[in-house]
A and B are shown apart, each in its own frame.
Chain A
Amino acid sequence: MYGKGLLKGLSVTGKIIFKKKVTEKYPEEKPQLAARWRGGFQLDVNECIACGLCERACPNSAIKLTTKKNEENKRQLASYELNQSYCLFCGLCVEACPKNCLRFTKEFETATYFKEKVKLDLFNNQNLSAPASSYAQLDKKKETEGKEGE
């Protein structure tokens, strides 16, 4: 009979109408993001040893940092700029950080009306209040613990 297949398909649609909705009420309810979400950035300047590994790991040279010597003749961070317009959000900088001070955050609404805001000045605005992501964090902790155990 012609149309049998159509009716069979319609029965599937009919069944699914009464199922639970799968969409999210986005602006009213914020989504549950994965623990390793790669969103914004935060930098703990006090922890940073200004090694420059993140700068070198970046495929697009989106990170620019300068250093200065402090009174004890130790290297210290002087400025840190992350240009998000060049950023691929690949996470290689966060993985490279030996002190876990450069981290991803779980921010996701990063659109802005101003072009200047796309460049992140992480030296003056460390963005530590944003929820941190566990991307490349847990494994590192485990690794260092393992080494201490040996």
Chain B
Amino acid sequence: MKTQTYTVNFGPQHPSTHGVLRVVLELDGETCVGSKTHVGYLHRGIEKLMEDRTYPQVIPYTDRLDYLAGISNNLAYVQTVEKLMKIEVPERAEYIRVILAELMRIASHMVGIGIYIMDLGAVSAVFYPFIEREKILDLMCHITGARMTFNYMRIGGVAQDLHPDFIPALDKFIADFPRFIEDYHKLVDDNEIFKARTKNIGVVCAEKAMDYGLTGPNLRASGVKHDTRVINPYSIYDRFDFEIPVGETGDCYDRYVVRMREVEESFKIIKQAYKDLPEGPVMAKVPKLIKPPQGDVYHQTENPKGVLGCYVVSDGSPKPYRVHFRRPSFNNISIFDELFIGHKVADVVAILASFDFVLGEVDA
């Protein structure tokens, strides 16, 4: 009997592609023998839009790149401009930035882990992380007034000081969060179905991960100890004591484990920063009209999804000549075409989910 392969469009309108990613899969029965990833369905031309905005007006647009971690994107952009203008940020603002960026990392990983496990069929496992994420979004809301598009960082500091409601809410969060971690490990870690679906699926060896330019938890799951916060500290990250969790084999299960441990490390940083939070101003002395000197600057920060690089070219006018973002998700999903081959369709879903990418960032 003669058989032939067939082509299936996976996405762009498919809940498991986490947005509008389109993967054209060539299948032999249920095994993937070829794959082509198409991106661009969520392209809004953000980098071009930024060329027509003044430097502070760019900040709300950065929220919409990786929309699950708005604060982290804000941070990357404002630090780049500060680097260009050589602005010293007040201590209190730096601490607030770190606390919020780490809270944001937890919130982003909560979605990443929750949706990942839901895609594997465990619907109840998505609600526990989402409850925690909801608490974090409420915390953010006290300070910034928004839940996802924060627009909180400013060139030279942060927009406003902490709101009095924020402190008790953060205290409560710090008291309750370890309980969640404990419960969630119990719920998922030893689950036989989860292990069967993820162990030795989508294995990325360290060399290949580096070849493809993977960053963030996806790279660390392959055993590469790379974290911008440690190897090239920005802001005040060199003052905190935390570890870089790494995986062993680089399979889907390791990517879950690394994210979970990263959440714990972030929680450690939040506790340290909150303890040392100094008093003082939250905004440096910055001219009303921000006009950086001519030149260009590149800066990298560690986003929840990986290394976010920001490149700003200034021609001395109040508007940037060019802003470019190295979006981690875009590089992370470049490995898909090679990684899918040889896996079953259900495993393709598991691999997709385990990479935790955001299409807003991929297409920009």
Contact = CB atoms under 8 A, between A and B. Distances in A.
Interface of A: 2-6, 8-9, 11-13, 16, 22, 33-38, 57-59, 88-92, 95, 104, 133, 135-136, 138-139
Contact of A35 (B161, B163, B187): B163
Contacts of B189: 5
Given A5-B191, A9-B188, A36-B145, 11 more contacts: A6-B191, A8-B187, A8-B190, A9-B186, A34-B141, A34-B145, A34-B165, A35-B163, A92-B151, A135-B160, A136-B160
A9 B187 contact: yes
Contacts of A95: 159
Given A12-B187, A90-B60, A136-B159, A34 B192 contact: no
Given A22-B131, A133-B145, A135-B145, A13 B159 contact: no
B143 A4 contact: no
The 9 A-B residue pairs with the shortest CB-CB distance, nearest first, are A5-B190, A90-B60, A36-B145, A59-B57, A38-B145, A34-B141, A90-B151, A9-B187, A12-B187
Interface residues of B, number: 35
A37 B143 CA distance: 9
B334 to A, nearest CB: 30
B242 interface: no
B120 to A, nearest CB: 13
Contacts of B142: 34-36
A33 B156 CA distance: 29
B57 A139 contact: no
A89 B195 CA distance: 43
Contacts of B163: 34-36
B167 interface: no
B147 to A, nearest CB: 9
A3 B192 contact: yes
B18 interface: no
A88 B144 CA distance: 14
B124 interface: yes
B218 to A, nearest CB: 25
B141 A37 contact: yes
Contact of B149 (A4, A5, A57, A89): A89
**Is the contact region of chain B dominated by helix, strand, or loop, or is it mixed?**
helix
Contacts of B191: 5-6, 9
B186 A11 contact: yes
11 contacts: A4-B190, A9-B186, A9-B188, A9-B191, A12-B183, A12-B186, A35-B163, A36-B145, A38-B146, A89-B146, A91-B151
A136 B143 CA distance: 10
A6 B193 contact: yes
Of A4, A5, A22, A88, most buried by chain B (CB within 10 Å of CB) is A5
A104 B192 contact: no
B28 interface: no
B53 interface: yes
B138 interface: yes
Contacts of A89: 146, 149
Contacts of B161: 139
Contact of A88 (B138, B149, B186, B188): B149
Contact of A104 (B128, B143, B145): B145
Interface string B134-172: 100010011111100101000000011101010000000
A6 B192 contact: yes
Of B60, B128, B138, B189, most buried by chain A (CB within 10 Å of CB) is B60
Contacts of B143: 36
A139 B161 CA distance: 8
A59 B190 contact: no
A5 B165 contact: no
